[in-house]
Amino acid sequence: MKAVKKGDINLKALREKLREPVKGQFRYHESPGSTFKFSYGSKFKGIPIETYIIADNEVRYLPLEVAQHLNSCSYLIFDTFKDANGKPISRIKKKERRVSFDSLSFNPIEDVGDDNNLIVEAEPLVQMK
């Protein structure tokens, strides 16, 4: 067995961590109320491609790496304007999320209550001028 040197990544531990199931609520921003079907291929060898079908607002367990993938599903919307010379220039206007997976590991839905009306007030640490 090959020894892991200081600074090397322990791939076995990383694989186990990314395959741990996490509880969360799926949100389909692009088509609320619908189901979303997708296939995911793990970063690691030996794990087959998995196909998922998830309904909007469904609470379920998914591997951490799949949850991270869902939270990265977005596309950019560009805005075009003209510079001082009249040359058209494109820039990013906003990033639109397609789907997301909101973790419930630290805030289980059962602990929120029936009304789901949580009010949190925060004060800035430094006064802005």
What is residue 122's predicted lDDT score, i.e. its pLDDT? 47
Q: How far is CA 41 from CA 51, 61, 126, in A?
A: 9, 17, 44
What is residue 43's predicted lDDT score, i.e. its pLDDT? 87
What is residue 115's predicted lDDT score, i.e. its pLDDT? 45
Half-sphere exposure of 12 (CA within 13 A, CB side): 4
Q: Consecutive 10-residue runs of the chain (129 residues): their mean pLDDT?
A: 59 89 95 95 90 96 94 92 90 92 67 44 50
What is residue 114's predicted lDDT score, i.e. its pLDDT? 44
pTM of the model: 0.67
The domain segmentation of the chain, as residue ranges, is 15-108
Question: Where are the extended beta strands (E) located within 2-87?
Answer: 21-28, 35-40, 50-55, 59-63, 74-82
How far is Cα 99 from Cα 36, in angstroms, rounded to an integer?
9
What is residue 108's predicted lDDT score, i.e. its pLDDT? 41
Q: Are residues 57 and 65 in contact, defined by beta-carbon separation less than 8 angstroms?
A: no
Burial of 66 (0-12, 13-18, 19+ CB in 10 A): buried
